[in-house]
């Protein structure tokens, strides 16, 4: 009887810890490091669905997500302190939406940040009233608030990944660069990196997400289980030979796991020197 009570208490404790972890949002911490330790460098990722990666999490929850890739690559440098990477990306979010609706929650959930990366623009292009006039100002306002609330943090702006056509991407990235110049923050050119990957032949960087009803019956035996009702999501190119002509098969431009490895690699390359410099000063 005592043994059963002990097991029940242990199970309850595990459930409590799991709930706390889920509520805290996705993060990645070097094993053995304490999250609240002064020796842990906290990296905060802000952005839209191309930062969050909700679909890759749902389809392959055990795989390395963006924050895991960044943390592991930074840890592999060998001379950096432990790093915790917190992914605060949200699907559908744009800068004005973050500022007006979620900023205080992010601040409350993440009272400490040593490095902050910002990648918005894709949703802003369609959702922000007067995008061409207001997007740069929204970024500047966000940076100013972050500087006030995280005075010691190193802040980076990112250009958007390859997603829209060249014209739209250029209009977004032009304003990102203007905001960076006005505020004096460095820029991580994620557009150039993702474009270079495609030009080098690494083209399978996005997933395929389509309704099952579009797929001819003869191929249904090859399909994975639906990731949600009536819809499949394939994270790689294994079915391209059969389904390349299915309407919308190549329509979704969100990163797959390979795409997040590209993004995470570029982030780690750009962030390592700043973390190393800060670590050497302490």
User: Any idea which of 11-15, 144-148, 193-197, 247-251 has the lowest mean pLDDT?
Assistant: 11-15
- Give the model confidence (pLDDT) of 69-107 as tens digits: 999 999 999 999 999 999 999 999 999 999 999 999 999
- Give the pLDDT score at 203: 87
The alpha carbon of residue 220 and the mean position of all alpha carbons in its chain are separated, in whole angstroms, by 32
Handedness of CA 98, 26, 261, 82 (dihedral sign): positive
Same domain, 113 and 6: yes
Average pLDDT, the chain: 90
CATH assignment of the domain containing 263: 3.40.50.1110
Looking at per-residue pLDDT, the higher value among 24 and 170 belongs to: 170
Confidence of residue 26 (pLDDT cuts 50, 70, 90): confident
- Give the model confidence (pLDDT) of 150-199 as tens digits: 999 999 999 999 999 999 999 999 999 999 999 999 999 999 999 999 99
Q: What are phi and psi of 211, to 5 degrees?
A: -65, 140
Confidence of residue 277 (pLDDT cuts 50, 70, 90): confident
Range(s) of the domain holding residue 115? 2-200+256-281
Same domain, 68 and 55: yes
- Give the pLDDT score at 4: 42
Same domain, 245 and 175: no
**CA nearest 267: which of 166, 194, 218?**
194
Burial zone of 207 (CB within 10 Å; 0-12 exposed, 13-18 middle, 19+ buried): buried
Same domain, 55 and 122: yes
Is residue 108 over pLDDT 70?
yes
Same domain, 99 and 141: yes
Same domain, 123 and 192: yes
Same domain, 179 and 236: no
What is the secondary structure of 132-158 as a DSSP string?
A: HHHHHHHHHHHHHHHHHHSTT-EEEEE
Same domain, 146 and 184: yes
- Give the model confidence (pLDDT) of 201-251 as tens digits: 988 999 999 999 999 999 999 999 999 999 999 999 999 999 999 999 999
Q: What are phi and psi of 125, to 5 degrees?
A: -60, -35
Q: How far apart are CA 227 and CA 244, in angstroms?
A: 19
- Give the pLDDT score at 140: 98
Same domain, 20 and 121: yes
Looking at per-residue pLDDT, the higher value among 38 and 8 belongs to: 38
Is residue 7 over pLDDT 90?
no
Q: What is the mean pLDDT of residues 250-271?
A: 98
Same domain, 94 and 224: no
Percent of the chain with pLDDT over 70: 87
Burial zone of 149 (CB within 10 Å; 0-12 exposed, 13-18 middle, 19+ buried): middle
Number of domains in the chain: 2
Paired sense of beta strands 27-29 and 83-87, if any: antiparallel
Confidence of residue 36 (pLDDT cuts 50, 70, 90): low
């Amino acid at each position: 009887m005592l043994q059963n009570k002990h097991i029940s208490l242990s199970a309850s404790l595990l459930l409590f810890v799991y709930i706390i972890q889920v509520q805290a949002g996705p993060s990645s911490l070097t094993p053995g490091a304490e999250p609240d330790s002064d020796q842990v460098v906290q990296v905060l990722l802000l952005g839209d669905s191309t930062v969050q990666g909700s679909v890759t999490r749902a389809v392959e929850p055990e795989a390395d997500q963006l924050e895991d890739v960044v943390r592991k690559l930074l840890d592999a440098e060998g001379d950096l302190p432990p790093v915790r990477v917190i992914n605060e990306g949200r699907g559908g979010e744009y800068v004005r939406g973050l500022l007006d609706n979620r900023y205080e929650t992010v601040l409350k959930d993440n009272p400490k940040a040593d490095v902050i990366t910002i990648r918005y623009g894709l949703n802003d292009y369609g959702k922000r009233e007067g995008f061409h006039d207001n997007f740069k100002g929204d970024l500047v306002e966000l940076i100013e608030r972050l500087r006030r609330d995280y005075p010691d943090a190193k802040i980076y702006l990112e250009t958007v990944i390859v997603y829209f056509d060249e014209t739209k991407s250029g209009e977004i990235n032009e304003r990102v660069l203007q905001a960076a110049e006005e505020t004096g923050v460095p820029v991580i050119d994620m557009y150039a990196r993702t474009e270079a990957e495609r030009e080098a032949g690494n083209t399978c960087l996005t997933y395929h997400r389509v309704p099952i009803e579009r797929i001819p019956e003869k191929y249904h035996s090859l399909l994975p289980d639906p990731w949600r009702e009536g819809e499949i999501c394939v994270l790689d190119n294994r079915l391209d030979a059969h389904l390349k002509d299915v309407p919308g098969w190549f329509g979704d431009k969100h990163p797959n796991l390979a795409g997040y490895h590209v993004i995470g690699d570029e982030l780690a390359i750009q962030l390592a020197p700043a973390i190393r410099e800060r670590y050497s000063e302490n």
